[in-house]
Amino acid sequence: MNLSLDLLRRSSTIVCLTAIALVLSACGGGGAGSDNGSGKTAATIGTTVQLDSLDPLSSTGGSYTYQQLVHEPLIGFDPETLSQDDSGLAVKYGFREGDPLKFDITLREGVTFSDGEAVDAEAVKASLLRYVAKGSLYGLKGIVGSVDVASPTELTINLTREFAPLPERLSLDGGLIVAPATIKEFPDADALTKAVGAGPYVLEQNRPGVSATFAPNPKYWNKKDGAKLKKLTVQYFADSAAMMNALRTDQIDGATYVPSSDVAGFKGKDDLTVYNRQSVGLDFVYLNWDKPALKDPRVREALSYALDRKTLNDVMTDGYGTPAAQVVPSDSPFYVDDVTTFDHDPAKAEQLLSEAGVKDKVNLDCVWYAGTGWERLLPVVIDQLSKVGVTLKARQLSVAEAIPAYFKPDGADCLLGGTSGTFGVYGALAQNSDSTSFFTAASSDSGVDSALAAFETAYTPEARNAASKGYYEAMLTAAPMILVDNRAKIAVMDKGLKGYAHSPLSSLVLRHLSW
């Protein structure tokens, strides 16, 4: 496994597919602009995730917020539900009848990139093959074999194997189409802020560590749903406290990735809207099942039964998240109603440890790093595990130290961490399989990979449900990780801002904002 810190930049959260909007208010008025009303043409949104790159080649969860402003997806999607539609570059697409290894696409006519070059089949082919060769995270590498161009608006993707989740990949990071000029100048390297796309905005100014400002793309094809703001600024804050203070003092028009502990401070105020969605961004304990203490799956199962997730969720998210019974929340299309999950059952945990031949305590050496919230969870987890005879010792390291300390052959037994789940519904499940998880330190197969493979031929809702059930049954018996909670995704916006989509993606969908 590659121990590069790039692993940490792969965010993956699917959030559940229902948004809860609580209308609250704040003293003062419309943040960075004047009072809520007509005539406002600019907005400033606060975030704790800064711009790394506009190039999807090295896509990260945080950067997707910025990338989807300047790039258009090949396959459009509803940001509220993530269901695919015809709002992207493709007006028609699908697997060829009788040949699921061919995916046919018809492009929208007359679309250009922001530099004026045509978005035609050759340009789309070049962008896709760049991802295949260089590897966009959870993208197309190993799935797409070649691309055939039939006309300026028609192309066919030839797959190396059946892969039913392809439309999802082509609507998210794997389908953001970059201009030929970008590929020519940066064939192998990350174009960073020089990446050119066909989205509704263009980058006007980037101040690293401060802010990124975007202006409308005058060549954007969809005049009706294009940029509604003359200036959209995403302002970076090193910590959430500074961001929330900026919102309270009207320096910004909205705040994102808001800590659950800050929501109460906005009660009784009526010109802000607070958005909350349950997330497939997970807090978890990932286990190295190659380690002696964790080789027996019954020991790993016992750890999950020992934890009271309701209490842990209250501690971690102040009740805004949900206890994690599955990788995705209960209203995700990949949630399974009739599958057994790890409920809080200390007696069963003790029974499993006894059946596994544990005669004394189980001693676990774990690592964690700051910024994951585990400083809140850790004391409670240690206490709950101790009640079934498990001693967990956790070392706080820097990010640069923690990952190698877990992955090296003589490394820690477990990693305390979390993911934010940017890369779609299937990606939320894939990031927790044996070979594709960012956090798999073991070299052996726990049994989850084979279960995940069933999704590759699941073309109908019924088939996806069956695949999901098989996946969770494998997770139950293999127990490669301890699910703790599905994170809450919280944003606070000026009530006058329209078009904010509190998307199931962990990243932000700001392209439709207006006053």
pLDDT tens sequence across 211-247: 999 999 999 999 998 999 999 999 999 989 999 999 9
More confident residue, 238 or 399: 238
What's the chain's average pLDDT? 85
Report d(CA 17, CA 424) in Å as an integer. Answer: 12
pLDDT tens sequence across 156-215: 999 999 999 999 889 987 899 999 999 999 988 899 999 999 999 999 999 999 999 999
Question: Mean pLDDT over residues 41-45, rounded?
Answer: 98
Report d(CA 112, CA 132) in Å as an integer. Answer: 23
CA angle centred on 422, ends 419 and 427, rounded to 5°:
85
pLDDT grade for 1, boundaries at 50, 70 and 90? very low
Least confident window among 41-45, 88-92, 108-112, 318-322: 318-322
pLDDT tens sequence across 352-398: 999 999 988 899 999 998 777 899 899 999 999 999 999 999 999 98
Which residues, at least 6 apart from 453, have a Cβ–Cβ distance to it below 8 Å?
none
Taking each helix axis from N to C terminus, what angle separates 346-355 and 297-306, rounded to the nearest 10 degrees?
Answer: 160
pLDDT tens sequence across 281-314: 788 898 988 899 999 999 999 999 999 999 999 9
Q: What is this structure's pTM?
A: 0.83
Structural domains in the chain? 72-180 (3.90.76.10), 280-487 (3.10.105.10)
Report d(CA 56, CA 58) in Å as an integer. Answer: 5
pLDDT grade for 255, boundaries at 50, 70 and 90? very high
